[in-house]
Structure 1
Amino acid sequence: MNYQQLFSLQGKTALITGGARGLGKAMAEALAQSGANIVIADMEVASAEKAAQELASFGGKTLGLQVDVTNEEQVKTMVERIVSEFTELNIVINNAGICQKITVEEQSLEDWKKTMDVNVNGVFLVSKYTGKQMKAQGGGSIINVASMSSFIANTEAQCAYNASKAAVDMMTKCMASEWAGDRIRVNAIAPGYMKTDMTKPIFAPGGELAHVLDLVPLKRLGEPYELGGLAIYLASEASSFVTGSTFIVDGGYTIW
């Protein structure tokens, strides 16, 4: 068995939603370095195009697109555009998401719906249309971004986020079951507390969530690149017998 070939994504096309920065961009870079063509889809088209241009340095074809994952027509058009330019769509990372730290009694129904719209409906819509394309072409890999909060309540108030990510975990199982016969594998990555430009100040000494690191057995935040290896594994033939699974990457937080 040639394991380098098993993990190769040469010639494959990958879509990463919310991929212009942070964890999405880190996973996109991992796939690009493994040979994949990369499509970055983000609400901010300038950021998506900039990220795509940067990832082109790894040798694959890239494209930056604007998309609102809660808008069905935009999602449908996005998939059609990708197929017209790349012929196939082999890998999808459903990374777009939001988190609002609001207590239950203070959260408006509008805010609750916004979280569910992006984190749940967005995953549904992107999976629906990319899944149709993968079915027509004979298979593919969908990777949903869940969270360790799919399984725990956390220490801060974020009921809507946790509920939405629990839904992503179950959607992953249901989609994997429905599409197993079509050679479409559906799995999820569930990050814990990760270090991004947005979160670093929160977890710094004296920050709002600095105390949380005491609850992480490895005593640190995760680095975005630490999701990359798992993304390559789930996107490639190395995980050909894996579907319906959610992989927790949290420094051990959910052990306790």
Structure 2
Amino acid sequence: MYQPSFSLENKTAVVTGAGRGIGKALAIGLAEAGAEVVLLSRTENELKETTAFIKDRGGEAYYVVTDVTDREEIRRTIDKVINNSGKIDILINNAGMNIRSKAEDVTDAEWSVIMDTNLKSAFMMSQEVGNVMRAQGNGGSILSVSSVAGQTALRTGVAYGASKAALIHMTKILAFEWGKDGIRVNSIGPWYFETPLTEKLLADEKYLSEILAVTPLNRVGQLKELIGPAIFFVSEAGSYVTGQTLFVDGGMTINGF
């Protein structure tokens, strides 16, 4: 009675941006918790590699090459998932990008591509999968990957920060509207983690020292440290939690620049 279940057995989870970095780690973690994982991204070779890795470790996974900024592609992909798996229980909105430009230098094209990738894609995926979950009649869980940049002003760029702040607020509104349908919507907000996208930045000793100076745990995160928070949110263990953002940040948001 008092043992919360973190198991994802008999659950089908869709993960966007799943070929590398945070998305790859979350896909692997969900599979290890028992979920059948459907990996989405535009890069097939990365999807193949991650899918094979999961299967080699005894997990269930397959991939669909998808541009999640295109609603028709999203719909076609969801149809494939329903035809193959019969349902969707969990959605992880992880697809994201950044272009590091000073505010005065941001172009309209840069603003649009960042907003489309980080925010619009998450809304369209949530909207389409939410409709599926609603029709299934047994609720579901949506988890978006935001950022501490959505909470704190950083040098990551105005478009990126604005997209992540909007994602955090969108999480609250979707949770408010869809709670009656048993659909829980939450997000996690990472700080710096060791990924292919941060490798060059963290190799700069001066930049790294500045990062660590505002991080109480005095280190960057390891990807495996995002898996536990994610599984909590999407499993029965987090069944009474919705509309929340958990900053997985080594304490950075209690300090800041």
User: How far did residue 205 of structure 1 move?
Assistant: 4.6
Residue number in structure 2 paired with 1:152:
152
Alignment check: 8 A CA contact 1:142 1:186 kept: yes
Q: Within 2, Cα distance between the matches of 1:51 and 1:153? A: 33
Q: Within 1, Cα distance between the matches of 2:206 and 2:50? A: 29
User: How far did residue 195 of structure 1 move?
Assistant: 1.1
1:5-53 Cα shifts (integer Å, max 9, x gaps)? x111011010110011111111111111110001110111221122112
Q: Within 2, Cα distance between the matches of 1:231 and 1:140? A: 14
5+ residue gaps, structure 2, are none
TM-score (norm 1): 0.95
CA RMSD of superposed structures (Å): 1.4
Q: 1:226 to 1:52 in 2, by over 3 A?
A: same
Q: How many aligned residue pairs are there?
A: 254
Q: Secondary structure at the match of 2:104?
A: coil
Alignment check: 8 A CA contact 2:171 2:186 kept: yes
Alignment check: 8 A CA contact 2:141 2:234 kept: yes
1:197-227 Cα shifts (integer Å, max 9, x gaps)? 2312311353645422211111110111100
Q: Within 2, Cα distance between the matches of 1:134 and 1:213? A: 41
Matched, 1:222 2:216: no
Q: Secondary structure at the match of 2:187?
A: strand
Detail structure 1 runs of 4+ shifted over 4 Å in the superposition. Answer: 207-210
Q: Within 2, Cα distance between the matches of 1:213 and 1:151? A: 18
Residue number in structure 2 paired with 1:26:
25
Alignment check: 8 A CA contact 1:16 1:95 kept: yes
Query: What does 1:180-191 align with in structure 2 at a 5 Å threshold?
Result: 180-191=179-190
Query: What does 1:152-231 align with in structure 2 at a 5 Å threshold?
Result: 152-154=152-154, 156-206=155-205, 208-231=207-230
1:48-98 Cα shifts (integer Å, max 9, x gaps)? 122112112343431111111110100111111101100010001000000
TM-score (norm 2): 0.95
5+ residue gaps, structure 1, are none
Name the % identity. 39
